[in-house]
Structure 1
Amino acid sequence: MMGSWKKGLQTALAIALVTLPLAACGGNNDNSGASSAAATGGTSGATQAGDGKLEKVRVSLWDRSNSPNGQKLEDTVIVKKLQEEARKEGLDVEYVVLPRSQESEKNNIWMASGGGPDIIITYDMNAMFKWAEQGGLWELDDLLEQYGPDIKKLIGPSLEVAGTYKGKRYAIPAMRMSTAAASNMKIRQDWLDKLGMKAPTTLDELYETLKAFKEKDPGGVGKDNVVPWALPAISQGMKGFFFGPMWGAGVAIDGPATEMYMPSGNFADGVFHSAVALNEGKEFFRFLNKVYKEGLISKEFVTDVNSQQFIQNYTSGVSGFMDSNEDPWTVTKETRKTVPEAKWVTLDPLVRPNGTQAMTEANVYGLLNMIPKSSKNPAAAVKYLNVLAKNIKLVQAGIEGVHFKEEDGLYVAIDPVKNAEEIDWYFKDLNLLTQGYMGNPTKDQMKKQFANEPNPDEIADILDPYFKSFEKFGKQGPLIDTPRPVSDKSVANITKFLYDALSKAVIAKDFDAEWENVVSGWKKNGGEEYDAEVTQNLVAMNWKTTNE
């Protein structure tokens, strides 16, 4: 899922208006001196900036394996520029690169070993709660007050709603500048036009559309090559989700976000039920089992843990439907490198069994920045984030005058081709404080934004329904910020189990028999106790269902 996703989603979708297109590393396991560092805001073993030398700070950086030219993240122009700006503030910054798909695993290893960087990142609020409860994170209230004035000025709204546990701050949450930065369904309009079909409006109609894509091959790629629905492995950090289709089956987001990139479950008659405990959830996965058996999703999706096959499927033009946190123009532009006539458009939410429509909308907060207790210089870590806040345009749009120019509050790309090579593929992952830079743009703003493109009117026409879909149908899930001991104990095991069990259910010859294993395993891992705890929290919050 997301940690309100992401995704990450995840493209920061307002940033997409600028250009459209964040390696395992060891550390010092010695935790001695940590308490004195917190008390003084000093380094306790690290070099102080006051003596003329630089303070060392190590920062997580996700690698999405999408470099267009084989360039290492550590050697890119924005990384070098950020390091230069940090040195002016007395900081020596090292980026600790790890594959995006290994975020959860690597963070857990770092937290257990004490060998991680000074700043670790996640979308998983539950992980932050767990580590805070275990005493593994620095409290940040005083550090933020002393060293983060520019942070507070930049992301005040997100600080008000997220990052605290039991009344104390343990994370600095990035602020989403547009709540459209979330999962959304997209479909190939050029394929629909060739087949004389309208966009599907229900899950049943989606099946018929996928089947027509496979059987009639509107892209002319050969029936055996068509993969109608681009979908990677069911695990955190992937680029493809099934939020939209699962909403269409009647599953909502009434529970807290987890690492499973799908709707969490339904709250009805005062009781919460996780997706796998719902008949609607079972029937959705029966649907996935059906489309898998008929070759409507990739036969190798289970092993596509880095989304490489997923990306190949849609960019090569063999797929006609997807659910991801990229906007339709971004995927159109990527696909047109291979198929010039390709046109991806927004697919509005499918009509649910109760006749309503809804889609997941991002919360005002996003990525969580945390400082593990193994960091001997938490003050330097906060100082780095403050440097980032002071140079926020750099990670929102690149170097001003080189990659973009600012006009009427818009960041207009100077040379989109240059940007694609130099910054588009990674620079948003350096932006740990904001996701995007503006709210939902108007059509006129988009036309101006893309004035350097040969088709600004078309781009605006593609993107406008995308933003309007979120505005009309978007819903946000609950933010439970009270202690949840059952979740702390069981959610990691539940998630790990479901990654494997749901994948087996999708590819099973006997779906019903395999689904019994899903439910029984979920129960053995504490699923029913998890739901009871969520129910207690939702009742205390007077939560109203998103399934209306």
Structure 2
Amino acid sequence: MAISLKKSKLTKAIMALSISSVLLSACSTEQKQSVAGTKAKPNNEIRILAGVVGGKNDEEQKLFVQEIEKKTGLKVDMVKPPANYDQKLLTSMSSGDQYDLVYLNTPDMDVLVNQGALTKLNDDIKKSKVLSDTSIISNSDWKAITYKGGSIYGVYNKADQGTMPVLRKDWLDKLGLKEPKTLDEFYTVLKAFKEKDPDGDGKNDTYGLSLAGLFDIQPFMSAVGVKAEYVIDKNGKRTIPYATEAAVPVYEWLAKLYKEGILDPNFLTNDTTKMRNLFMSNRVGMDTDWDAWVGLYNNTLKQRDPNTAFQAEGIPGVNGPNGIMLTLGDPSLWAIPANAKNKEGAIKFLEFWHSQAGNLLSTLGVEGYDYTVKNGKYELTEAGKAAGMDHGVIFPNNSHFKNPIGFLPGVAEAHKVVTDNNATNQIATKDWPNAQKIVYNYAFKAIMGTMPATEAVKQMHDELKAANLIDQ
């Protein structure tokens, strides 16, 4: 098991690998692009299974692949499933489909490493001047994805991101409020967002806070020093801090928000899309989201209305006994399957990906389509503006890279909130999918007031212990 893990579709991953023989989806359901022309030599061809990486549409995807081919000399076949990427990845790997490079996160990597489906990369990393350069990928980053015994099976796609409270800064300023730092101050701000008509339409139609289930109450649990999912001590004993008495005050605080109509009543059934749409449509003053979404929020609203007053801002969570505790996302990685036909080509792609040219492609996109350069000045096209300078990467690992256009409004400051505070990966383990059902069941009861928080936590703990999902 890697040092850092998170839930991120682990259930689907395990289910996918239990299938002994699965046929791949028809190619017509995939975006599959390569440049036509003279057939390249076999050792010059590379086949990639990509998730979020690439163009935003078929036209741009073709240009994206052409750019990789031009810069690397490789002939690239990039398969980009339109949906359910994790399921596609695990199904393809379990069926023996051949790729030279696959995009994944650490939970899926853990499953594939256990299956012996990935190539150990330690020697390749050492031999590479680019991948072994700690100014590009730091020692601490490598440590985060190193397995017991020192084995490494993945190479970073981008720098890690994290979650935090994201608020309407324009509403905060309009109401003459200061950035909240304690639970009491958060309550004051959220109550004002609910009751003081911050959107100015004369209607009582706003909420202070929206969530997507329990995504992500960690910035508030920070107030009591409680970390999400598992904590495992040096003796291997498992605890789930959300199922301890320490978490009760935050459940009670959230229950107060729910009872007073400050918390969006549909938080239980929201997905992130619904939550984000509320935030962007003047319905809610705060949600909790990834740092990248601060820039995407601002960019989206600016594209809709250049004169908008909308301003999203990412802020730290609540300072508690263990400082400010935020959630760091799973590392975004590339891995080489054990059955890859062209490992050398895959390494060549990875070295390009972490170069200046690769960083430009993965962020700004394709020159001439997403951006133009005139007299050394970079400028986004309309397509580039819509893409939000994200073609798989917002913050490259490469510390030498400076975005020549700059970041979307607010995103650099939000990312600094993550890097300046105690943002850590959540530890899921194979037990979390079962434990999650119990934790969420009783957490929702506590927040919605159908059970006192103290009793909900007790039953949560007892049920987890009885199911052998925690040790203490």
TM range (shorter): 0.7 to 0.9
Separation (CA, whole Å) in 1 of partners of 2:184 and 2:244: 19
* Counterpart selection for 1:523 from 449, 452, 465: 465
Given that residues 57 and 380 in structure 1 are in contact (C-alpha distance below 8 angstroms), is that contact kept between their aligned partners in structure 2? no
Question: Please, what TM-score do these two structures have when normalized by structure 1?
Answer: 0.64
* Counterpart selection for 1:427 from 391, 396, 418: 391
Q: Who is 1:248 aligned against?
A: 223
Per-residue CA distance 1:479-518 (angstroms, 9 max, x = gap): 99xxxxxx75424433465456645654462244544453
Q: Who is 2:172 aligned against?
A: 192
* Cα separation, partners in 2 of 1:173 and 1:348, compared to 1, 3 Å: closer
Q: Who is 1:544 aligned against?
A: none
Given that residues 277 and 519 in structure 1 are in contact (C-alpha distance below 8 angstroms), is that contact kept between their aligned partners in structure 2? yes
Separation (CA, whole Å) in 1 of partners of 2:5 and 2:370: 30
Given that residues 29 and 114 in structure 1 are in contact (C-alpha distance below 8 angstroms), is that contact kept between their aligned partners in structure 2? no
* Counterpart selection for 2:313 from 345, 369, 377: 345
Read off the aligned partner of 1:371 and give its amino acid letter: I
Secondary structure class of the residue paired with 1:121 = strand
Task: State the Cα distance separating 1:319 from its structure 2 match.
Answer: 1.5
Read off the aligned partner of 2:391 and give its amino acid letter: F
**Alignment pair present for 1:388 and 2:316:** no
Given that residues 44 and 345 in structure 2 are in contact (C-alpha distance below 8 angstroms), is that contact kept between their aligned partners in structure 1? no
Per-residue CA distance 1:17-48 (angstroms, 9 max, x = gap): xxxxxxx9x99969xxxxxxxxxxxxxxxxx9
Output aligned runs, 1:234-273, within 5 Å: 234=214, 241-252=216-227, 262=228, 273=239
Read off the aligned partner of 2:143 and give its amino acid letter: V
Secondary structure class of the residue paired with 1:303 = coil
**Alignment pair present for 1:168 and 2:129:** no
Read off the aligned partner of 1:232 and give its amino acid letter: A
Output aligned runs, 1:46-195, within 5 Å: 50=41, 55-62=45-52, 73=56, 75-77=58-60, 80-86=63-69, 89-99=73-83, 102=84, 107-114=89-96, 118-124=100-106, 126-144=107-125, 150-153=130-133, 155-157=136-138, 160-165=142-147, 166-176=149-159, 181-195=161-175
Given that residues 266 and 275 in structure 1 are in contact (C-alpha distance below 8 angstroms), is that contact kept between their aligned partners in structure 2? no
Read off the aligned partner of 2:291 and give its amino acid letter: E
Output aligned runs, 1:308-457, within 5 Å: 308-326=273-291, 328=294, 330-336=296-302, 337=304, 340-352=308-320, 354=321, 357-360=323-326, 366-373=331-338, 375=340, 378-390=343-355, 391-392=357-358, 393-400=360-367, 403-404=370-371, 413-415=378-380, 417-421=382-386, 423-424=387-388, 426-429=390-393, 435=396, 438=399, 449=406
Does 286-295 or 371-380 show the bigger shift? 371-380
**Alignment pair present for 1:474 and 2:421:** yes
* Cα separation, partners in 2 of 1:133 and 1:329, compared to 1, 3 Å: closer
Per-residue CA distance 1:333-355 (angstroms, 9 max, x = gap): 43454682223334344232x4x
Separation (CA, whole Å) in 2 of partners of 1:292 and 1:517: 21
Given that residues 396 and 436 in structure 1 are in contact (C-alpha distance below 8 angstroms), is that contact kept between their aligned partners in structure 2? no
* Cα separation, partners in 2 of 1:428 and 1:96, compared to 1, 3 Å: closer
**Alignment pair present for 1:494 and 2:435:** yes
Task: State the Cα distance separating 1:219 from its structure 2 match.
Answer: 1.1
Separation (CA, whole Å) in 2 of partners of 1:219 and 1:332: 16
Q: Who is 1:210 aligned against?
A: 190
Separation (CA, whole Å) in 1 of partners of 2:277 and 2:398: 29
Q: Who is 2:34 aligned against?
A: none
**Alignment pair present for 1:298 and 2:264:** yes
Given that residues 251 and 263 in structure 1 are in contact (C-alpha distance below 8 angstroms), is that contact kept between their aligned partners in structure 2? no
Task: State the Cα RMSD in Å.
Answer: 4.7
Listed as ranges, the gaps of 5+ residues in structure 1 are 8-23, 31-47, 65-71, 235-239, 253-261, 454-458, 481-486, 532-548
Q: Who is 1:258 aligned against?
A: none
Separation (CA, whole Å) in 2 of partners of 1:79 and 1:282: 52
Secondary structure class of the residue paired with 1:214 = helix
Separation (CA, whole Å) in 1 of partners of 2:348 and 2:412: 38
Given that residues 243 and 461 in structure 2 are in contact (C-alpha distance below 8 angstroms), is that contact kept between their aligned partners in structure 1? yes
Higher helix share: 1
Given that residues 86 and 387 in structure 1 are in contact (C-alpha distance below 8 angstroms), is that contact kept between their aligned partners in structure 2? no
Secondary structure class of the residue paired with 2:187 = helix
Read off the aligned partner of 1:287 and give its amino acid letter: W
Separation (CA, whole Å) in 2 of partners of 1:519 and 1:468: 35
Separation (CA, whole Å) in 1 of partners of 2:254 and 2:7: 22
Separation (CA, whole Å) in 2 of partners of 1:388 and 1:268: 37
**Alignment pair present for 1:287 and 2:253:** yes
Separation (CA, whole Å) in 1 of partners of 2:288 and 2:361: 29
Read off the aligned partner of 1:94 and give its amino acid letter: M
Separation (CA, whole Å) in 2 of partners of 1:465 and 1:149: 31
Per-residue CA distance 1:88-125 (angstroms, 9 max, x = gap): 633332223254xx55555554555445855443443x
* Cα separation, partners in 2 of 1:193 and 1:90, compared to 1, 3 Å: closer
Separation (CA, whole Å) in 2 of partners of 1:332 and 1:474: 23
* Cα separation, partners in 2 of 1:514 and 1:73, compared to 1, 3 Å: same
* Cα separation, partners in 2 of 1:219 and 1:5, compared to 1, 3 Å: farther
* Cα separation, partners in 2 of 1:135 and 1:467, compared to 1, 3 Å: closer
**Alignment pair present for 1:220 and 2:200:** yes
Q: Who is 1:276 aligned against?
A: 242
Percent identical residues: 21
Question: Please, what TM-score do these two structures have when normalized by structure 2?
Answer: 0.72
Task: State the Cα distance separating 1:202 from its structure 2 match.
Answer: 0.9
* Cα separation, partners in 2 of 1:493 and 1:417, compared to 1, 3 Å: same
Listed as ranges, the gaps of 5+ residues in structure 2 are 9-15, 24-38
* Cα separation, partners in 2 of 1:143 and 1:198, compared to 1, 3 Å: closer
Separation (CA, whole Å) in 2 of partners of 1:98 and 1:267: 40
* Cα separation, partners in 2 of 1:267 and 1:170, compared to 1, 3 Å: closer
Separation (CA, whole Å) in 2 of partners of 1:493 and 1:113: 26
Task: State the Cα distance separating 1:291 from its structure 2 match.
Answer: 2.5
Read off the aligned partner of 1:50 and give its amino acid letter: K
* Cα separation, partners in 2 of 1:95 and 1:188, compared to 1, 3 Å: same
Read off the aligned partner of 1:275 and give its amino acid letter: P
Secondary structure class of the residue paired with 2:190 = helix
Q: Who is 2:31 aligned against?
A: none
Secondary structure class of the residue paired with 1:427 = coil
Read off the aligned partner of 1:214 and give its amino acid letter: K
Read off the aligned partner of 2:49 and give its amino acid letter: V
* Cα separation, partners in 2 of 1:84 and 1:149, compared to 1, 3 Å: same
Read off the aligned partner of 1:245 and give its amino acid letter: F
